[in-house]
Structure 1
């Protein structure tokens, strides 16, 4: 089967909605809410259409299409700059140190501090692969296609980039971290808060979340044990992020406690190592690669082969609908 990454279109709503119902909750960027997804697609359409090459409040939503059938089998998203419409909140794990001369002892306590430190960064997120397509490296294609998009449109993104990983969710769909921390102040379950945030944004967090630090030692064991721990299904995604140069720098999601990974955009491996060339022709051998072409709404990406002389294989050329002289960006697979 042949797969292609392309810009999402309004006509993809039903396919994306069906995938959103498979996420299992805690997936804020892909809520199983038809109107919220329609709004995302409209926002993405406007983002792809904007010509100004500068970071703004844009969302680029892309899909993985099975070319022969036209079926959408995955999604991924890039936010050009977080915190432009609603404040972007994280918990930062810090240390509160106190010393007693009388006791001759110094105490170091870990605390969670509500933070806007990541305001203005770009974000990669919303990556979901249909269970029927979880083979053949398609998750890697989805994930790394975002970096090729950034490399081809570098001026539209910030100098810092983040990725939030879903935290631990129990079998009932609840969050031990939410139950131990934020849930105390919101009067709603994790599922209710997660859905409200996905549909309405997070201003309610600013309204209700206490601004003072939370001492980790005072939290129940169930909440402490999941701080900075990814959902089991997200461990492979965390390894891919680490391979790209992302690191955990003590920022966690305020809802489920999952880790937030950060990097300097120009140091992300697939951005830094992307090569930009003109196609010299068609050949049937070369280095296995991810190959992208097109600007904004015309962006497309697939697996293919690139020769040292700038040639690409015929199947890739067909999928991308390009030939000799076309401009491509590529990274080794």
Structure 2
């Protein structure tokens, strides 16, 4: 157990920028722009420090850090309320059925509508893990720690949670979906539009994007084929989201056509199944004095800026809503008897 997820700090800017340079584009929440990242970190620190608990456009950035070396190798984000500053736009994929009596045929016509149906929801995003470490469970730690943070600060988030996945890009970082649709109205390449959105927000979409439905039959095959499909590097992330309870309901990203998935916040597995417990004993690994065995678990401790999460071990404590932790793990994570932790099975 050498890795933890903790609240980000402004001093993490250099490490976060190094990660952003590895994303390969199309990663709006983690732009390879120092000023933009610095602004995000400043907003995150202000969000962690905020006393009011009702959601109001906060951003919480969590960092994956090796406890022994302080190496930063990943990040994840939670947005408390989307659509607070400007509408959160998506395309909704629908189907219009039209019949011709003369031909004796009925046609199903898929179309895309520009909508802001998710305004007011919370969002998990910005999940990125260093390519050299995408094995061994660190992605699961980084992803699921966000849900323990949400569960431990539930009043700060909405009742609906969503996640957007990066869509399909070619080897040059271009999006077949954007090239067929958005580029026609904005005169910008996908990297240009994506970079502009990352820095300035999506209001320019409202200014220039046509609001009328767009029939997908008018798009080339290359664009239709990627609607609702995640980037190859995002398939593992989609699987983790689905394991938490997210589902796809025909909403796609307006830039690259990647899928948007949603869930009820309280029905997310790591929120629903996590439990708070007070640490009443620390002991060496092996059966506890009461004969209880330690089980692997995702564990979190601390509130707001003191939040940290790790994959460790836990055993039942000496009473209801109590637990026992291994001494060495507790010392590494600065947890002692009397502290409250939150845990969920792996």
Q: TM-score range by the shorter chain?
A: over 0.9
Partner residue in 2 for 1:321:
334
Q: How far has the Cα of 1:313 moved from its partner?
A: 1.5
Which range moved further: 9-18 or 305-314? 305-314
Aligned to 1:63: 63
Verify: 1:50 aligned to 2:88, yes or no. no
Q: Aligned equivalents of 2:87 and 2:171: distance in 1?
A: 31
Q: Which moved more, 1:120-129 or 1:97-106?
A: 97-106
State how far apart, in whole Å, the 2-side matches of 1:314 and 1:191 are: 49
Q: CA deviation at 1:318?
A: 1.9
Please, what is the CA RMSD of the aligned residues?
A: 1.0
Distance of 1:86 and 1:172 partners within structure 2:
30
Moved more, 89-98 or 39-48: 89-98
**Residue 83 of structure 1: aligned partner:** 83
Deviates more, 1:279-288 or 1:188-197: 279-288
| Alignment correspondent of 1:292 | 300
For residues 37-69 of structure 1, the C-alpha deviation after alignment (integer angstroms, 9 at most, x for no partner) is: 000000000000001111111000010111111
Q: Secondary structure, in 3 states, of the residue corresponding to 1:307? A: strand
Residue 339 of structure 2 is aligned to residue 331 of structure 1 = no
Deviations 1:131-161 (CA, angstroms, capped at 9, x unpaired) = 2322320000000000000000011100000
Shifted more, 280-289 versus 6-15: the winner is 280-289
TM-score, normalised to structure 2, is: 0.94
Do structure 1's residue 11 and structure 2's residue 11 form an aligned pair? yes
CA contact (8 A) 1:304 1:315 kept: no
C-alpha contact (below 8 Å) 1:303/1:316 kept by paired residues? no
Q: Which residue of 1 aligns with 2:218?
A: 218
Q: CA deviation at 1:97?
A: 2.0
Farther-moved stretch of structure 1 (128-137 vs 274-283): 128-137
Q: Secondary structure at the match of 2:30?
A: coil
Q: Could you tell me which residue of structure 2 aligns to residue 28 of structure 1?
A: 28
**For the residues of structure 2 that align with 1:142 and 1:88, how far apart are their CA atoms?**
25
CA distance in 1, matches of 2:335, 2:36: 35
In structure 1, runs of 5+ residues without a counterpart are: none
- Give 3-state SS (helix, strand or coil) of 1:280's partner: strand
TM-score by length of 1: 0.98
Is the contact between residue 302 and residue 319 of structure 1 (CA under 8 Å) also seen in structure 2?
A: no
2:254 maps to 1:254:
yes
Deviation at residue 71 of structure 1 after TM alignment: 1.5
Task: Tell me the residue number matched to 1:302.
Answer: 310
Q: Deviations over 1:227-278 (max 9, x none)?
A: 0010011111111111111000000001000000110000100000001010
> Which residue number corresponds to residue 153 of structure 1?
153
- 1:88 aligned counterpart, secondary structure: coil
Structure 1 counterpart SS, 2:112: strand
